Structure 1
Amino acid sequence: MGSRRNLSKKSAILDFIPYLVLTIVVVFLLFPVYWMVITSFKRPIDTTTPTLIPFVDFQPTLRTWTDIVFGFNFYQSVRALLNSVITATVSATLCVLIGGAAGYGLSRFRFEKWKNRDIASFVLAQRMMPPAVALVPLFIMMNYLRLIDTLIAIILIHTAFNLPFAVWILKDFFDEIPVEIEEAAMVDGCTRTDAFLKIALPLAAPGLVVSWIFCLAFSWNDLMVVLAMAYNKAVTLPWMIATGHSMRALEWWTISAYGTLAIVPPMILAALIQKYIVRGLTFGAVKG
């Protein structure tokens, strides 16, 4: 009896360990978000002390949010939010459109002089290049084209930086689609373009959504390009977060409010299309 009890205790402990580790990881990941959210509701004097529980450790206030949404910073906040939405959405859409066509070409056609594998490796290598290396040439180019502090410049640069990722991941998705389906459609009279638009793209829809989400996230979170190319009209939320200070000191309450505002739209979007993200990430994972 004693040995059985010991075994049951050991089994219970072993079963409990994964939950304990998972809880620690979740707390570790979510605590900074919680701290940022509650800091946005603190008075400036409360941000200097480690207060964690609203209505217990400190009295929440809407002063910062009122200033951002209705007060002095209203115009800047709305403009930064709209700029973030426009640049992220348009650049992600361009990446999926161009990357889908390029990925399909690399998946379905065989090139002789420059092998498909070499082309794919070259495309991926562009994504590995640090963006800071190209900022000065890009600034000179955009200044010559009079595109500094415009959304067009940021959209073009984000598209150029994120396009290799879209091409690579969409090529893998098209590789998982049996080519016999398109061949059967072409036997029935479809052209190669029809097979691409009516057969391959619908089947690769989860991959398109995943690519679009990742490209949107990269563009939404970018600071370096916006900091170099924008100063007034084309600023985005990361720019507002990075410059959330006054002449006296960092305004942690303002930075936290802009940070909270920046994570809300992606969270809502991820919740709405969660099933497509899961399908896209697991597409082709099981073969048999």
Structure 2
Amino acid sequence: MADSTQIFHDHPDDRPPPVKWWASRIAIYGILIFWTVVCLFPIYWTITTSFKMAPNVMQGHMIPFVDFQPNWRGWESLGLSPRLIGQESTVREEFLLRFMNSAITALSASALAVALGSMAAYGLSRFRYRFGFMRNPDISFFFLSQLILPPVVLALPFLVLYRELALLDTRIGLILLYALTVLPIVIWIMRDQFLSIPVELEEAALVDGLSIWGAFLTIVLPIALPGMVAAFILCLVLTWNEYFFAALLTASDAKTLPVMVASQTGSQGINWWSMAALSAAAILPLIVVGVLLERYIIKGMAAGAVK
């Protein structure tokens, strides 16, 4: 009995972890915590700046109630402070209009890009195409290569085209353009998603009497849904934050939040508190979407890693 007890206590699993193990854990978690602070610091700075006065901004005060006394100056400039929330405010109405423009444009463009891009990616992953010397891999790379072009190269052509089509300063104009700009990303992401799905599942569905569209909608689409959500969120972030084309192709009716944020600079300097309040209000929806759909983002990023 004594020997068995001694053997039990000397089992390798009961020994404390070695120093090397603890050192590696501390190093890994230290790096992760440091990177988390680096990533979250811009959001913290933006939110705290919306509660600062000009001297606090210039002097680099960071900690509320320690370095500076918070106030609602930035949010009052938008009509969103507790004191003004129940009163009429033209600035708040303009902010809500720009917010709606950004929301409608980004959501519509992202949904359109995911719908068209998913169908194009499905075709590239399941069928063989030939356009001259180009095969499926060449076509996929051609779509991705469209991201190499800087936006300023497309400025003049789109400006002339939209003037002829009467799409300047319209939501539909921004939706079509944004969908076009993020479409290559969706095609590239969804192509890998569909390639990770076994073809045998669709062949079994076709044997059971389903059409190609039926197999796509009932078999492939539910499996690829996490990847589609991940692609949608990426498109939403890119289109929500887009500034160049929104500033170029809009004037008043279809102006978006990024353009309104940039308008806080003028000859008198930068209105830091208003810009920070606008930026915080623009960041909040993306944070909410990311938190609610986090599990889909992780599934979409991990899909295709193991077949």
TM superposition score category, shorter chain reference: over 0.9
2:49/2:272 contact within 8 Å kept: yes
Query: Aligned letter for 1:110?
Result: R
Q: Alignment partner for residue 169 of structure 1, among 174, 179, 189? A: 189
Match of 2:33, SS state, is: helix
Runs of 4+ with >6 A deviation:
none
Q: Alignment partner for residue 243 of structure 1, among 241, 254, 263? A: 263
State the distance in 1 between where 2:21 and 2:136 align. Answer: 52
5 Å matches for 1:156-235? 156-235=176-255
Query: Aligned letter for 1:228?
Result: L
State the distance in 2 between where 1:252 and 1:33 align. Answer: 14
State the distance in 2 between where 1:244 and 1:164 align. Answer: 33
Q: 1:10 to 1:210 in 2, by over 3 A?
A: closer
Q: Alignment partner for residue 70 of structure 2, among 57, 60, 84? A: 60
Does structure 1 residue 138 correspond to structure 2 residue 158? yes
CA deviation profile, 1:78-120 (whole Å, cap 9, x unmatched): 1111111111100000001100111111111112444211211
Q: Which has the larger displacement, 79-88 or 123-132?
A: 123-132
Does structure 1 residue 148 correspond to structure 2 residue 158? no
Does structure 1 residue 21 correspond to structure 2 residue 31? yes
5 Å matches for 1:6-155? 12-68=22-78, 69=80, 70=85, 71-113=89-131, 114-155=134-175
1:244/1:255 contact within 8 Å kept: yes
Unpaired segments of 5 or more residues in structure 1? 1-6
Q: Displacement of 1:169 after TM fit?
A: 1.0
Q: Displacement of 1:226 after TM fit?
A: 0.5
Match of 1:232, SS state, is: coil
CA deviation profile, 1:33-79 (whole Å, cap 9, x unmatched): 21111010112332222211212221111132133134442122111
Q: Displacement of 1:127 after TM fit?
A: 2.1
Q: Displacement of 1:157 after TM fit?
A: 0.8
State the distance in 2 between where 1:22 and 1:203 align. Answer: 31
State the distance in 2 between where 1:173 and 1:14 align. Answer: 34
Q: Displacement of 1:133 after TM fit?
A: 0.9
Aligned length: 281
TM-score, reference length from structure 1: 0.92
Q: Displacement of 1:10 after TM fit?
A: 6.0
Between structure 1 and structure 2, the one with the greater Rg is 2
Q: Which has the larger displacement, 15-24 or 207-216?
A: 15-24
Query: Aligned letter for 2:63?
Result: I
State the distance in 1 between where 2:222 and 2:23 align. Answer: 47
State the distance in 1 between where 2:71 and 2:138 align. Answer: 58
Q: Which has the larger displacement, 243-252 or 267-276?
A: 243-252
